[in-house]
Amino acid sequence: MAAPSESSNSLIKALSWGSLSIALYFLLFFYEKEILELSAKGHWYFVFPIVIAFTFSVVHGNFTGEFWRSLGIRAKR
C-alpha cells in the first residue's frame, strides 16, 4: 500500500497531467482546421501529426500512471 503523502502527491500529479490532457484536446479541436491545412502541405509537414500523436501519448500515459498510483494500484513485481 502507498503512504498517504505519496498517494496525495500522485493525485496532484494525476490532476496536473489530466488538466494538460484536457487542454491538449481543446487545442486540437479548436485548431483542427489549421492542423489539417498544415499537415496537407507535403514535404516535411507530415511530421506535425506524428509529433501531436506522440505528445498526446506521453501526456495521457503519464496521467494514467499517476492515476493508478494515486489509487495505490501497482504492477506486480
Whether 77 is in a domain gets the answer no
Distances (CA, A) of 65 to 16, 27, 30, 37: 12, 23, 27, 34
Chain segment 12-48, per-residue pLDDT in tens: 999 999 999 999 999 999 999 999 999 999 899 999 9
Whether 76 is in a domain gets the answer no
What stretch of H or E contains 20? helix 4-30
Number of structural domains the chain divides into: 1
Whether 75 is in a domain gets the answer no
For residue 6, the model assigns a pLDDT of 75
Whether 61 is in a domain gets the answer yes
Calculate the average pLDDT of the chain.
92
Whether 20 is in a domain gets the answer yes
Domain extent at residue 43: 4-70
Cα(first)–Cα(last) distance of the chain, in Å? Answer: 14
pTM score: 0.83
